[in-house]
Amino acid sequence: METTLNNGVKMPAIAYGVFKMPNDASTTQRVKEALELGYRHIDTAAVYGNEEAVGAALQGCGIPREELFITTKCWNDDMRSDNVENAFHESLAKLKLDYLDLYLIHWPVKGKFTEAYQVFEKLYHSKKIRAIGVSNFHMGHFQELDKVKTIVPAVNQIELHPYLSQKDLVEYCGKHDIIVEAWSPLGAAKNDLLKDPILQSIGEKHGKTPAQIVLRWNIECGVVPLPKSSTPSRIKENFE
């Protein structure tokens, strides 16, 4: 299952996220397992500190590069215009890739993100990135970006789940042809979303787990979820 970005690039409709996973062989193994199960979209970030572990998995997976969709993000400390390109190439080297499928501004750092985005546009035009986007942006950030951008962001990655539906922001992104990705699609640790009795009831009715119901809800809403797990059975469950 795929979604089409505003520049025509096809992106898998679900991603495997590696937030808070270590930069070691265990993460390499989990990513390999995700790829073996059928995931083709892997989402990491410079600040996660595990791009090398992800890169090791990609190197040995045996899947043609054109079938993979790899996302990483530029961290706040690198958002000065004179450092964005260096940060990009460092991520690329750690991931052992020749190009990125999607590069995101991780947070809208005041006074920096518009300048950084202009460097993103340069990298996009150089064919080193297939699509560029943002993360954790709200309407005001997009309005600020409108003053300098020549390319509409392809993606906005935000916290989104049934307890935080962000309806207005999702509608804004839809109106401007920006695909929404959901981090923490299964809810924050503090809210026990997966114990919600309504979700449990729906899951029982359809023979699915609450997590599977929530991920399907995301996809039906046109949102690309990024479930994260280091447990093989959960990785499999989230993809089914």
Each residue of 75-108: pLDDT tens digit?
999 998 889 999 999 999 999 999 999 999 999 9
Examine the residue annotation and report whether 103 is marked as an active-site residue of this protein. no
pLDDT digits (tens, 9 = 90+) for 49-82: 999 999 999 998 999 999 999 999 999 999 988 8
pLDDT at 189 over 90: no
Percent of the chain with pLDDT strictly greater than 70: 100
Average pLDDT score, the chain: 96
The domain that contains 33 carries what CATH number? 3.20.20.100
As for how many domains the chain has, the answer is 1
**Residue 199 to residue 195: CA distance in whole angstroms:** 7
**Residue 52 to residue 39: CA distance in whole angstroms:** 19
* Domain enclosing residue 95, as ranges: 2-239
Give the pLDDT confidence score for residue 240 in this predicted structure: 87
pLDDT digits (tens, 9 = 90+) for 130-180: 999 999 999 999 999 999 999 999 999 999 999 999 999 999 999 999 999
Catalytic residue among 48, 103, 117, 172: 48
Contact in structure between 202 and 213 (CB atoms under 8 Å): yes
